[in-house]
Amino acid sequence: MKIATLLLLIPFALCCEFAFAQDKSTARWESAYERLLEADPSVQKKIESGQATKEDVINWLKNQNGKTAKQQDRNKPTPDAGNLKGKSAFQSKLDEMVKAGKLSKEDAANLAATMNTKAAGSEEANPPKKVDWDAEYETLMADPTARAWIEKKQASKAQVIEYLKNQAGAQAKKGQATGGVKSKLGAKTKTGARPGSFNFYAIVIGRLKSKDIELGEMEIDVDYVISSQPQLNAKLIGTRVKLVGVSGQFLDSLLRIKRGETIKVRTGDFNPKAGVLGFGYKFHVLERTSPFRPGDFGVPPNEFRGFQGELVGKVVEASGYEVLLEVAESLPAEGSQATDAACIVGKRIRIAGFFGGHRDAYEAISAGDKIRVSVSHRNKQSDAVDVTETLETDQ
């Protein structure tokens, strides 16, 4: 698995690298893994949530062993380095584990030395990076929301780049990471997880071409994309794209899907330069599905676009805080812009937005339920409508 994925285990995990310089027996790795869980319960939470597995943690720690050994050789810490302001909470935790017999004094000393080494060597290990501002500008302009804001303000390329430089400088002064630029031009570039990408929440349907379970990656021949960005949807349809970032329980789902079968997956971001999709950060969906036909996946007829009002029907599926509804009744409200509101009767429509005011009610919905829901199709180019005030169930 890529190191980027395992960084989710939080920086504390780095402090367990020292234990593995000499002894690589299975028992030692198991012991170190257990000590990590004892020292930091948040790692256990990451594992329970499916973001990482026990094997992921152990393999990553093995890979980090060499790096720590080299860093320790270059930066020999003084006995009191990193502890000038009194005993830290981390040192106190080490002392508690030694007293409880869960950690030897030697291991505790090595662990403290590793933390001091990282502090002393941070400047050397992380030299300033040269930023390609032209590339940063192009990445920003690939985000439709940011582009619209920039064009509205009639900002020149030079002005935008100057703004990005100022933002990066402000972040550096605050001690923040400099590996990416965070934009306030109407949209935030996703930082930390997948640099160079912007948020792209979509449902992608296509045929699985290849997969790498160890890396959590796959290639998809895209048949259709459902999102609020029609231009990007059109760009992806008919192409073969890589999707990265699959982890935890969803690796098991990917393992069961055969090459050539149709897959449905929710994305979280898109890197325009690399042409790579990222697995969704939330509301995860990764499953085998039937071959793509627009009506089956809730793509609305053109005559229905712009609809406002209530729909009554049967839930076909409910996942990712969305509902695929087979419509029995269509009740347009005043102001509806659909030219034929009744054309959706007997067909399917995808309804999004249940995470907000209807989260609790949504949790009780399952396939086969009959519901009445008010919706609005604010963006006619989108293939999904949004839930509004009403959500009533009649199971």
pTM summary value: 0.47
Domain harbouring 233, CATH code? 2.40.50.140
Q: Which residues of 241-274 are buried (b: 16+ CB within 10 A; e: fewer)?
A: bbbbbbbbebbebbeebeeeebbbbbbbbbbbee
How much is the average pLDDT of 350-367? Answer: 88
Domain annotation covers residue 293: no
Q: Which tens digits make up the pLDDT trace of 109-137?
A: 766 665 555 455 544 445 556 777 777 77
Distance CA 199, CA 228 (A): 11
The predicted-structure confidence for 15-29, as pLDDT tens digits, reads as follows 444 444 444 456 677
Query: What pLDDT shows up at residue 386?
Result: 92
pLDDT in tens, 320-356: 889 999 999 999 999 999 999 999 999 999 998 888 7
pLDDT of residue 1: 45
What's residue 39's pLDDT? 67
Q: What is the pLDDT of residues 157-185, one digit of tens each?
A: 877 777 777 766 655 555 444 344 443 33
Query: Cβ(308)–Cβ(375) under 8 Å?
Result: yes
| DSSP code for 25 | -
Predicted confidence (pLDDT) per residue in 246-284, tens digit? 988 899 999 999 999 999 999 989 998 889 999 987 778
For residue 289, give both structure tokens: 């599905």
Residue finishing a domain among 104, 125, 146: 125
pLDDT at 193: 44
Neighbours of 312 (CB within 10 A): 17
Over the stretch 179-196, which tens digit does the pLDDT of each residue have?
A: 444 433 333 343 434 678
**Residue owning tokens 């895209």:** 222
3-state secondary structure of 121: helix
Q: Is the pLDDT of residue 65 over 90?
A: no
* pLDDT beyond 50 at 8: no
CA 29 to chain centre: 29
Same-domain status, 230 and 216: yes
Q: How far is 365 from 351, CA to CA, in rounded Å? A: 13
Number of domains in the chain: 4
Among 70, 104, 125, give the residue marking a domain's end. 125
Considering the domain architecture, whether residues 284 and 358 belong to the same structural domain is answered as no
> From CA 321, how far away is CA 384, in angstroms rounded?
12
**Residue 88 placed within a domain:** yes
pLDDT greater at residue 76 or residue 340: 340
Examine the domain organization and report whether 26 and 120 are in the same domain.
Answer: yes
Looking at the fold, whether 319 and 360 belong to one and the same domain comes out as yes
Which pLDDT score, from 0 to 100, does residue 2 have? Answer: 43
Same domain for 236 and 139 = no
For all residues of the chain together, what is the average pLDDT?
76
Are 52 and 117 within one domain?
yes
Q: Which of 189, 208, 239 is the last residue of a domain?
A: 189
> In Å, what is the CA distance from 215 to each residue of 35, 63, 201, 211, 300?
26, 15, 22, 9, 36
The confidence band for 42, taking pLDDT boundaries of 50, 70 and 90, is low
Give the structural domain span for 77.
Answer: 3-125
Q: What is the pLDDT of residue 160?
A: 77
**Residue 58: in which H helix or E strand, if any?**
helix 54-74
